[in-house]
Amino acid sequence: MDHFQIKNGILHAEDVPLTRIADEVGTPVYVYSRATLERHAQVFREGIAPVGRSHIAFAIKANPNRAVLRVLAKQGYGADVVSGGEISRAISAGMKPEDVVFSGVGKTRAELEQALDVGIGQFNIELEEEGVVLAQIAASKGKTAVATLRVNPDVDAGTHAKISTGKKENKFGVAIDLAPGIFDRLANLPGLSMQGVALHIGSQLFDLDPLEAAYGRIGQLVGDLRGMGHKIERVDLGGGLGVPYKAEENPPSPADYGQMVARATEGWDVTLMFEPGRVIVGNAGVLLTKVIWIKPGVIRPYVIVDAAMNDLARPAMYDAWHDFAAVQPTGERMNANIAGPVCESGDTFAMGRDIDAVASGDLAVFRTAGAYGATMASTYNSRPLVPEVMVDGDQYAVVADRIAAETILDAERIPDWLA
Ligand code: LLP
């Protein structure tokens, strides 16, 4: 459930009409609902209640806006981060360093140092050499890094190839058959406290069976590691739960997921770590846009909107579907293609779709844009960087400015020798 509903004929975010935000902030603009974020955070927490000891680290790559992180920090959420920049964001938004998990296949030395200096709670190690380097740096600082070994369970998550991460040919984790040996060697290094294993098999998952299969393999591994004399205190189950991008879609709920996890991990006697991203923020945001033209097409009209693939990359990158809805629907419908102004045919949000009838100047939204939306935006075609707004009841705030094309221009130099 979200808080983007029609009231008096106008689509609102909570109690704020989107027409007001468009007038005052301009378009395109991302709009988030605080109440929806809070609700999703609570529903996820309640969903996993049956699993026992647990910790939730929001995958901030899904939406790193600091106001969003602050809302989740107030809900007791930690963060799953994948870069030094994300570490800084999580902490400056109010997340406790000990509640932060550092994932990522290419952590640099500088990032490992930064993470140790701020006191990150858990490192998810992706390869043996990373563990060796982390141990050295930690020992040289007189610290001990708490870590898990990320394992690649070799299961097909059944999602888009570009967001699938748990097959053996993917770049993530160590092969499960090599994991005991690597774990054993890392566990003997000073500076490192190896406390468990981690996995994440993919994103936008609609089927719990591959997850359950992966957890089964991890359970086996935990048993093997304990058999070798290792103390296993935590298992990081990653994220991946899908969200409905179309009204008729029905992905497993956090409660369905929690029940499966409770069953699959029964008797593990560990703290379970969760790294949800999309399921928390996806439906808590829309991308508000204005129709520039209705361009007659050969087969059907093109609705040309002022948002483009640089603002919302998912359709161009993953052929992703985002529902399109008029802010002031008339009840009329039309069949059209929807595209942005960027000079690529890939800058198309939909082809031949039945949508609310719109005309030049009308406002509309792409729904379910709260996850992997603004954060994947760029300034391609020298377009401004898209701003973000958060609504809370009848008030709203701009939580990220629109960065003008000219500001970006100011950060560029023409060297003297080109004078
Ligand atoms: N943990 C790890 C280690 C991850 O790599 C990811 C996502 C997550 C947690 C969170 O997964 P979620 O719960 O959001 O599914 N840009 C793509 C999605 C990339 C996901 C990358 N990893 C998209 O727009 O669909």
- Select which of 343, 414, 418, 419 is catalytic: 343
| Strand bridging mode 333-339 / 16-17 | unpaired
- pLDDT surpasses 90 at 340: yes
Task: DSSP for 353-396, please give it.
Answer: EEEE---TT-EEEESS-SSSSGGG---GGGPPBPPEEEEETTEE
Domain with CATH 3.20.20.10 in the chain: 34-278
d(C-alpha 236, C-alpha 92), whole Å: 24
C-alpha 380 to ligand 1 mean position (Å): 23
Distances (CA, A) of 106 to 42, 126, 195, 281: 32, 8, 21, 25
Which residue's CA lies nearest to atom 16 of ligand 1?
A: 372
| pLDDT classification of 419: cutoffs 50, 70, 90 | confident
Question: Which residues, in sequence order, are bridge partners of residue 274?
Answer: 56
Average pLDDT estimate for 263-280:
98
Catalytic residue check, 197: no
Looking from the CA of residue 160, the nearest atom of ligand 1 is 25
C-alpha 201 to ligand 1 mean position (Å): 9
Q: Please give the backbone phi and psi of residue 410, each rounded to the nearest 5 degrees, phi first.
A: -65, -20
Which residue's CA lies nearest to atom 23 of ligand 1?
A: 372
Whether 272 and 234 have beta carbons less than 8 Å apart is answered as yes
Domain with CATH 2.40.37.10 in the chain: 4-32+282-410
The residues lining ligand 1, judged by C-beta closer than 6 Å to any ligand atom, are 59, 62, 80, 103, 163, 200, 203-204, 238-241, 275-279, 314, 318, 372
C-alpha 92 to ligand 1 mean position (Å): 22
CATH of domain 34-278: 3.20.20.10
Global confidence as pTM: 0.97
**Cα 298 off chain centre by:** 38
Runs of H (alpha helix) within 119-191: 128-140, 179-187
Structure tokens at 272: 């379970």
d(C-alpha 230, C-alpha 178), whole Å: 16
In sequence order, the 6+-apart residues with CB closer than 8 A to the CB of 225 are 180, 183, 197, 232
> What is the assigned CATH class of domain 4-32+282-410?
mainly beta
Token pair 């939306």 is found at 373
Instruction: Read off the pLDDT of residues 152-174 as tens digits, 9 standing for 90 and up.
Output: 998 988 888 887 888 888 899 99
Q: Please give the backbone phi and psi of residue 256, each rounded to the nearest 5 degrees, phi first.
A: -60, -45
Instruction: Read off the pLDDT of residues 98-146 as tens digits, 9 standing for 90 and up.
Output: 999 999 999 999 999 999 999 999 999 999 999 999 999 999 999 999 9
- pLDDT surpasses 80 at 71: yes
Hey, what amino acid is at 372? Y
Looking from the CA of residue 275, the nearest atom of ligand 1 is 9
Whether 173 and 125 have beta carbons less than 8 Å apart is answered as no
Looking from the CA of residue 320, the nearest atom of ligand 1 is 25
C-alpha 332 to ligand 1 mean position (Å): 37
C-alpha 120 to ligand 1 mean position (Å): 20
CA terminus-to-terminus distance, the chain: 58
